[in-house]
Chain A
Amino acid sequence: MQRHFDQELEDLRAQILRMGTLVEEQIKQSIQALVDRDVDLASRVIERDTLVNSLDVDIDENCIRLLALQAPAARDLRFVTTAMKISTELERMSDLAENICERVIELNEEPQLKPYIDIPRMANWTMQMVRECLDAFVRSDAVLARKVCADDDFVDNLTHQLFRELLSFMIENPATITRAIRLTFIGKYLERIADHATNVSELVIYMVEGKIVRHTIPPILSNRPS
């Protein structure tokens, strides 16, 4: 039986996807702004965060409406509650992209501390995790979701590596401390974005399998080349 409700669920899926695409773009442009030292671009990313916020509210309202009016059960219920939580995770990711841009604007007041190689690399990994967690959601793919969870360790390692490098700058020359701390923050923000992508993936596993794996997945060291 084709249900009218199916169309509403499809619309909700599209809404999440639209928000996800926008958030991916926010992250990408925040790193672009860092590398290109582009204050205008950074400001545009910061402005665009309000758009993400309003999508978050729209999705929330839509989910609450569906829960109240359709009283979904089983996989429909898991889908709606998951969508509601994913929208919160995406909104946080966008906030972090905004934070990156704030640091970019501050960093541009001084000369560049070092060539940006490892941060864009971290950002690529992080963006791939974001893209894949959304793919996993759209395709209800728990295998892909589990892969994203495993990749998080790799991003964590890159963050530590970045911190150690920046620490050496600070020890050698205290004049670099302000910039090094700001770059450390950016590393931390990316690491947090990857954590949110992991959270989304855990939600997807719940949606597909009905199992709550949050706080239970042991850290599996990724075997990717560093």
Chain B
Amino acid sequence: MTVSAQPCTTLKAEARNLSFFYGNTKALEHISLGLRDRCATALIGPSGCGKTTYLRCMNRMHDLYPGNRYEGELLLYPERINLVGQDIDPIEIRMRIGMVFQKPNPFPKSIYENVAYGLRIREAITRQNLDQAVERALRDAALWSEVKDRLHEQAFNLSGGQQQRLCIARALATGPEMLLFDEPTSALDPSATARIEELVTTLKQKVTIVIVTHNMQQAARVSDYTAFMYEGRLIECDRTEKIFTNPSNKLTEEYVTGRFG
């Protein structure tokens, strides 16, 4: 992991004139958006505005379906790799940029295997190192104390909130530089939601976080920067406190005050 001197001052990734097409349908239109290193950036906007589409560009989820097409650049710093370039191996990208989905989706395996899975396909690793890496990931995901005595139980025996933290641990195991959260708490109760939000706040000290959320208060609570999208375009991105107290754009204002959307 590349560590720059100061978090939030340098960019970890940057979309430059990024457009995306589902077949002939343009879903993202000339997005230019910088994501700051070791900061949490929230993407907000009404349904269908392109926030999830943008998030999925970052780890090439769209490649799983034929007919999808990218235009423009999505650069990962410091190497300036174009994430949406033809020559990029999506598997390699997904090691560096993890993703957590709306509904917890653990593999039908044990808790231990869920976390170890990514490490095993990545490299040959000794049993002892694997144990250590699994423990570290589970600790970072604030789940270790709850599962340490039952690592070989089925992941599905965990509660929804625990399963979601297991998915975060699974994403953390490969030592990613960036984590993408797609409405990570929409299927969770308030206390499980609070734990995930706490976790995001802790994790951003190490990894850059991008979070798509429909819950505006969540965006306000956990993010440093907020980007508002509408109809496939980026309308405004600024410090979260600015967006929620005094946004520059009229449309952003209307959205955060709940006048539309």
Contact = CB atoms under 8 A, between A and B. Distances in A.
A74 B242 CA distance: 8
Contacts of B217: 71
A78 B245 contact: yes
A171 interface: no
B260 A74 contact: no
B246 A3 contact: no
A210 B257 CA distance: 15
B66 to A, nearest CB: 39
A210 B258 contact: no
B247 interface: yes
Counting chain B CB atoms within 10 Å of each CB, the highest count among A71, A75, A78 belongs to A75
B245 A210 contact: yes
Interface string B235-252: 000000001111100001
A25 B253 CA distance: 37
Interface in B209-239: 216-217, 220
A5 B253 contact: no
A3 B261 CA distance: 12
Interface residues of A, number: 13
Contacts of B258: 1, 3, 5, 73
Contacts of A3: 258-259
Q: Which bucket holds chain B's interface residue count? A: 10 to 19
Interface in A1-48: 1, 3, 5
Counting chain A CB atoms within 10 Å of each CB, the highest count among B216, B244, B253, B258 belongs to B258
Contacts, number: 35
Contacts of A75: 253, 257
A5 B257 CA distance: 10
B256 interface: yes
Given A71-B217, A73-B216, A75-B253, A1 B244 contact: no
A73 B260 contact: no
A72 B245 contact: no
A209 B245 CA distance: 10
A75 B217 CA distance: 16
Contacts of B246: 74, 78, 209-210
Given A77-B244, A78-B245, A72 B260 contact: no
A210 B216 CA distance: 20
A210 B242 CA distance: 9
A76 interface: yes
Interface string A50-93: 00000000000000000000011111111000000000000000
A71 B220 CA distance: 11
Contacts of A78: 245-246
Nearest to B253: A74
Interface string A187-226: 0000000000000000000000110000000000000000
A210 B245 CA distance: 7
A210 B252 CA distance: 15
B259 A73 contact: no
A77 B260 CA distance: 16
A150 to B, nearest CB: 24
Contacts of B252: 74
Contacts of B259: 1, 3
A1 B245 contact: no
Contacts of A5: 258
B130 to A, nearest CB: 45
Interface of A: 1, 3, 5, 71-78, 209-210
Which A-B residue pairs are the 3 nearest by beta carbons? A210-B246, A73-B256, A73-B244
16 contacts: A1-B259, A3-B258, A5-B258, A72-B257, A73-B244, A73-B245, A73-B257, A74-B244, A74-B245, A74-B256, A76-B257, A77-B245, A78-B246, A209-B246, A210-B245, A210-B246
Given A74-B252, A77-B245, 14 more contacts: A3-B258, A72-B257, A73-B216, A73-B220, A73-B244, A73-B245, A73-B256, A73-B257, A73-B258, A74-B243, A74-B256, A75-B253, A78-B245, A210-B245
